[in-house]
Amino acid sequence: MRALSIGATGMLAQQMNVEVISNNIANMNTTGFKRGRAEFNDLLYQDLRRVGSASSDAGTIVPSGVQVGLGVKAAAVYRITDQGNITITDNSLDLAINGRGYFEVQLPTGETAYTRAGSFQLSPTGDLVTPDGYLVMPGITIPPQTTSISINNNGEVFVQTGSAVKATRVGQLELAQFPNEAGLEAVGDNLFLETTASGTPLAGVPGKDGFGAILQGALETSNVNVVSEITNLITAQRAYEMNSKVIQAADEMMQNINQLR
């Protein structure tokens, strides 16, 4: 009976849907997190009577046919890259991107990773780094005598040192854009890697040519909408229950057949 396997595919699909939703809710307070959405495709169809086939020698054709679907499968977990809310922290090393773009981060392997989480810190040598100590590209070094750090909307970094009246420019932050942001590979720690699907990154100056502006003393929060996620969770749970009912009904039908004498 096809209903057993079809109901099983539906339960597996909704289980994955719940897992995606639970990951969204778990990261509702993760800086720069982008929520995911599970996408599904229907499976192959069995043609019990092929549509368009000849139904007589007179040339008549079957207008609709009989096709029985075999269930559902997971197609993708699509990342929604909508802008998250901006929260003020008043920390001079907290940076938020208001608009498109990603900070560039150099991994210990030499690869370049990308992130929207701008909760940066200073290394023992004064370099601007992520909480894991990864260097923020193109490399900004803050002098040890610095008394204040100022970063404008275009990513220019200025420092005030000692008793100097005029601020000194020590570097320029860059952002990267991708033709398909959803194609980036998430590797954890708020980092993404370039893939064939994402396309080649385009580097540019913040606040210009379509790149987002840098906001100092602020962070971008997760774009997870808790009310929407809870609603989706209830919907997925009910869909799971309905698929389990299909399996239960198919089992009862087979049980009735076995009891025939």
Per-residue pLDDT of the chain (261 residues; tens, 9 = 90+): 788 999 999 999 999 999 999 999 999 999 999 999 999 999 888 887 888 788 777 878 888 888 888 899 999 999 999 999 999 999 999 999 999 999 999 999 999 999 999 999 999 999 999 999 999 999 999 988 888 999 999 999 999 887 777 888 999 999 999 999 999 999 999 999 999 999 999 999 999 888 999 999 999 999 999 999 999 999 999 999 999 999 999 988 888 888 877
pLDDT, position 166: 85
pLDDT, position 206: 94
pLDDT, position 165: 75
Q: Which of 151, 121, 153 is nearest to 135 (CA)?
A: 121
pLDDT, position 67: 80
Calpha distance 71→9 (Å, rounded): 6
pTM for the structure as a whole: 0.85
- Reading the block at residue 149, the tokens are 């750090």
* Domain range annotation of the chain: 2-80+226-258, 86-220
